[in-house]
Chain A
Amino acid sequence: MSEARSMSMIEAINDALDIMMERDPDVVVMGEDVGYFGGVFRATAGLQKKYGKTRVFDTPISECGIIGVAVGMGAYGLRPVPEIQFADYIYPGLDQLVSEAARLRYRSAGQFIAPMTVRTPFGGGIFGGQTHSQSPEAMFTHVAGLKTVIPSTPHDAKGLLIAAIEDNDPVIFFEPKRLYNGPFSGHYDEPAVPWARHPDSLVPAGHYRVPLGQARIVREGEAVTVLAYGTMVHVAREVAERQGIDAEVIDLRTLVPLDINAIVKSVNKTGKCLIVHEATRTGGFGAELSALVQERCFHALEAPIERVTGFDTPYPHSLEWAYFPGPVRIGEAFDRLLSV
């Protein structure tokens, strides 16, 4: 493999876009403020200058329009990578995603496809209030025909984004904005740590894929399996390490398609399962995971499956850290599992 260098998640995403635009003239990047300005989080910085305005361009403020034209571009044969500035703003585009992009292959029996990758920052931890903090992934995993991808490291962000862009199905690529510039322990009162000192910030040069549907074992363990994705991978691992718990932490990386084998293998080994996500609890993806584990690992389970999630309220501004599923909530779930 060619030389690797340390990058932030933003830099890794930018690198993936750069590589795919270089390799494939059908890849176009569009969204609000992504052109000259390079995106409000800088994910598309420099791309317009390099690839020109007809491949990297700003759009009107219309998520419905952004997703809708991406469907049309896909029908022509392009591979659009639209950005929705915040996942909280994706809803006006929902009809185009749910009724159109997700079902186009099915309803046309393969005559038309929608090979788009919708990139969108999600999750809290930056005092964004209820319209800049949501984790709506379960709304998309519920839709047949969409793939849902969530990286947790710069290395995976690049490899997963490349795999998503090369995929012929529509992919929703949720970027945990709290992780853009560094991993997160969950201890918000401790100084922020940049990616530079984290081993998973080492990003190989050039093209590589992290296949969709393949989870990553972040930390091997025997006592309990932790299923997490995005920001919560780091928080859960930190809790396990600080409490000295022999946890096996699995970063799911893609929710649909899901690496069910990795989950079953681990839970059958540990006999215990903790599911962690930042999204609201009711109808969250944790419910799906819990059902799957129960269906497939019932006889191996030694304790009830635990779910640690955000509360079923909108994301509050001032009480952000009381809402966030942090070390206390996760730590006590570990304690309950291990006391059985």
Chain B
Amino acid sequence: MTDGNLPKLTLHVPEPRYRPGDVVDYSSLAIPLAGAQPRPDETCAADVTHPLCLDMIRVLGDDDRAHGPWNPGLDTATLIRMLRLMALTRAFDGRMVRAQRQGKTSFYMKCSGEEATSIATAMALASDDMVFPSYRQQGIFITRGTPMTEMVNQIFSNRADTLKGRQLPIMYSARDQSIFSISGNLATQYPQAVGWAMASAIKGDSRIATAFLGEGSSAEGDFHSAMTFAAVYNAPVVFNLVNNQWAISSFSGFAGSERTTFAARAIGYGIAGLRIDGNDPLAVFAAVRWAADRARANAGPTLIEHFTYRAEGHSTSDDPGQYRSTAEGTEWPLGDPVNRLMRHLIALGVWDADKHAAMDAEVDTEVRAAVRAAEANGTLGQGLHHPFRTMFEDVYETLPWHLVEQSEQAIHERRVKWPEWSDDADVDAQGGEAT
């Protein structure tokens, strides 16, 4: 029975601060000074890290210098390599969006503004630590040396694609570089990373696992199952939660950011947690290295929130100008990771505008060469696909009778439509339209 004197309940529906056309004011966003955060020992009790879940670890200051106990102290060559990998990834993204607009593929997703979260992470891990990425970690593939031409082959779904044209563009898989196959379904990789880490522990191995997801998909049950299992089994895993503020058109409030930080979820699960300036490559490197060392020392899992900004649309399928203020990105108070590292190198006296321009030209040439090489193997829109019979392979280890029948049917249909067609030189009119 309702008491007439009780207040009416109201439903709270989160609303982002800024919509298209709005002026942006970031003055209420708490950005602590670089170097101000304590760095506990890697094997500390988990709760020692919990104040850091509500803070933000920063190394690169407004003076472009590295500060504080989290400064990883990287040498110049490593810093320049990091810068170059970020520039290369950005150039790659630019070319791939252009290729999508030209109809060479159906779809693409950039990681602009988030390069540090993947590249500095990859550099902080051992090269054989297992990575379970989501869909915006192209920087890890590039850092670990997946040949760029191979990545473009996958994006173009052409006959040289090692995934045989089966997967949506950017859903790579690179077992040779210890990177797991990317799924289009969200957060599924999180418990899988825990399972891999548990297996490594079962076998007494020294390798750890790391996983990525966005803040939006941290709402999925898989995220919470992963946290629980990792906590229960003290799994050697590093959870990267990339908070880029937007999940397509939904701001981070729809994943819970109005209440507390994402890193703070570590508190509830009783595991270590760190919240870092995700546009500060040195902070990313230091935090991931800390968490990796912790996992390797049997001290357990860590959840790292990379606080960053998705500078572009979710994918080539959406226009962010329809749902958020463009000023958000241009005025993002944590800056751009490439610029910040560049300015740091300049401040160190080892870099200048000419060197930077030369590097940009060089990475662009490298990307163009990779795209040209891949184009020779075909594009989605223009034939040269993977041999046709491969469509039926790998569904099972061996083809059961019904797939044998169906593959014969498919090849028969092909010959009806194109009498000249031969599967070994699959030049056909397959492409048609792309989305």
Chains A and B are bound partners:
yes
> Chain A interface (Cβ within 8 Å of chain B)?
32-33, 35-37, 40, 53-54, 57-65, 88-89, 91-92, 126-132, 188-189, 192, 281-282, 311-314, 316-319, 321-323, 326, 328-329, 332
B162 to chain A, nearest CB (A): 13
Q: Check if B248 sits within 8 Å of A282, measured CB to CB.
A: no
B233 at the interface (CB under 8 A from A): no
Add 10 more A-B contacts to A64-B221, A127-B380, A311-B392 (CB < 8 A). Answer: A32-B248, A32-B250, A40-B248, A65-B221, A127-B434, A129-B171, A130-B167, A317-B106, A318-B165, A319-B388
Q: Check if B254 sits within 8 Å of A58, measured CB to CB.
A: yes
Chain B residues with CB below 8 A from A127, complex form? 106-107, 380, 433-435
- The chain B residue with its CB closest to the CB of A57 is B13
| Contact (A37, B434) CB under 8 Å given A130-B184, A317-B106 | no
Q: Check if A313 sits within 8 Å of B248, measured CB to CB.
A: no
> Chain B interface (Cβ within 8 Å of chain A)?
10-11, 13-15, 19, 106-107, 157-158, 161, 165-169, 171, 183-187, 216-217, 219-222, 247-250, 254-256, 317-318, 322-323, 380, 385-386, 388, 391-392, 395, 402-403, 406-407, 409-410, 413-414, 416-417, 429-430, 432-435
| Contact (A61, B406) CB under 8 Å given A36-B323, A316-B391, A319-B388 | no
Chain B residues with CB below 8 A from A88, complex form? 184-185
Chain B residues with CB below 8 A from A64, complex form? 220-221
Q: Check if A130 sits within 8 Å of B168, measured CB to CB.
A: yes
From A58, A65, A319, name the one whose CB has the most chain B CB atoms within 10 angstroms: A319
| Contact (A61, B409) CB under 8 Å given A129-B184, A312-B402, A328-B417 | no
- When chains A and B are docked, how far (Å) is the Cα of A54 from the Cα of B12? 8
Sample of 25 A–B contacts (CB below 8 Å): A32-B247, A33-B250, A53-B15, A58-B249, A60-B216, A60-B255, A60-B256, A61-B219, A61-B220, A61-B254, A127-B106, A127-B380, A127-B433, A128-B106, A129-B107, A129-B168, A130-B167, A311-B391, A311-B392, A311-B403, A316-B391, A317-B167, A319-B165, A328-B416, A332-B416
Chain A residues with CB below 8 A from B168, complex form? 128-132, 317
- When chains A and B are docked, how far (Å) is the Cα of A131 from the Cα of B134? 14
Q: Check if A314 sits within 8 Å of B166, measured CB to CB.
A: yes
Listed from nearest, the 10 A-B pairs whose CB atoms lie closest are A131-B184, A129-B168, A318-B165, A60-B219, A37-B249, A318-B157, A127-B106, A53-B13, A188-B432, A62-B219
Q: Check if A188 sits within 8 Å of B433, measured CB to CB.
A: yes
| Contact (A40, B380) CB under 8 Å given A60-B254, A127-B435, A318-B157 | no
A33 to chain B, nearest CB (A): 5
- The chain B residue with its CB closest to the CB of A131 is B184
Q: Of A61, A89, A311, which contacts B216 at CB under 8 A?
A: A61
| Contact (A40, B318) CB under 8 Å given A130-B184, A319-B391 | yes
- When chains A and B are docked, how far (Å) is the Cα of A218 from the Cα of B377? 44
- When chains A and B are docked, how far (Å) is the Cα of A63 from the Cα of B222? 11
A131 to chain B, nearest CB (A): 3
- The chain B residue with its CB closest to the CB of A126 is B435
Q: Check if B255 sits within 8 Å of A314, measured CB to CB.
A: no
| Contact (A316, B11) CB under 8 Å given A88-B185, A329-B409 | no
Q: Of A189, A281, A282, A317, which contacts B166 at CB under 8 A?
A: A317
From A64, A65, A131, A311, name the one whose CB has the most chain B CB atoms within 10 angstroms: A311
Chain A residues with CB below 8 A from B407, complex form? 311
Q: Check if B392 sits within 8 Å of A313, measured CB to CB.
A: yes
- When chains A and B are docked, how far (Å) is the Cα of A292 from the Cα of B426? 41
Chain A residues with CB below 8 A from B391, complex form? 311, 313, 316, 319, 322-323
| Contact (A317, B417) CB under 8 Å given A37-B249, A54-B13, A130-B184 | no
- When chains A and B are docked, how far (Å) is the Cα of A89 from the Cα of B183? 11
Q: Check if A54 sits within 8 Å of B256, measured CB to CB.
A: no
- When chains A and B are docked, how far (Å) is the Cα of A262 from the Cα of B157? 44
Q: Check if A37 sits within 8 Å of B185, measured CB to CB.
A: no
Q: Check if B255 sits within 8 Å of A316, measured CB to CB.
A: no
Chain B residues with CB below 8 A from A35, complex form? 13
- When chains A and B are docked, how far (Å) is the Cα of A130 from the Cα of B395? 12
- When chains A and B are docked, how far (Å) is the Cα of A281 from the Cα of B401? 13
- The chain A residue with its CB closest to the CB of B221 is A64
Q: Check if A33 sits within 8 Å of B255, measured CB to CB.
A: no
Q: Check if A313 sits within 8 Å of B219, measured CB to CB.
A: no
Q: Of B11, B380, B403, B435, which contacts A313 at CB under 8 A?
A: B403
- The chain B residue with its CB closest to the CB of A308 is B409
B135 to chain A, nearest CB (A): 10
Chain B residues with CB below 8 A from A53, complex form? 13, 15
| Contact (A61, B247) CB under 8 Å given A188-B432, A311-B406, A312-B406 | yes
Q: Check if A36 sits within 8 Å of B254, measured CB to CB.
A: no
- The chain B residue with its CB closest to the CB of A28 is B11
- When chains A and B are docked, how far (Å) is the Cα of A50 from the Cα of B429? 46
- The chain A residue with its CB closest to the CB of B171 is A129
A42 to chain B, nearest CB (A): 10
- When chains A and B are docked, how far (Å) is the Cα of A313 from the Cα of B405? 13
- The chain B residue with its CB closest to the CB of A191 is B433
- When chains A and B are docked, how far (Å) is the Cα of A322 from the Cα of B387? 12
A130 to chain B, nearest CB (A): 7
- When chains A and B are docked, how far (Å) is the Cα of A96 from the Cα of B430? 40
- When chains A and B are docked, how far (Å) is the Cα of A62 from the Cα of B187? 10
B292 to chain A, nearest CB (A): 27
Chain A residues with CB below 8 A from B13, complex form? 35, 53-54, 57-58
Chain A residues with CB below 8 A from B216, complex form? 60-61
| Contact (A92, B402) CB under 8 Å given A58-B249, A313-B391 | no
Q: Of A36, A131, A314, which contacts B249 at CB under 8 A?
A: A36
Chain A residues with CB below 8 A from B220, complex form? 61-64, 92
Chain B residues with CB below 8 A from A128, complex form? 106, 168, 435
Chain B residues with CB below 8 A from A314, complex form? 166, 395
Chain A residues with CB below 8 A from B432, complex form? 188-189, 321
Q: Check if B395 sits within 8 Å of A317, measured CB to CB.
A: no
- When chains A and B are docked, how far (Å) is the Cα of A131 from the Cα of B256? 26
B160 to chain A, nearest CB (A): 12
| Contact (A281, B107) CB under 8 Å given A58-B254, A129-B184, A322-B388 | no
B11 to chain A, nearest CB (A): 5
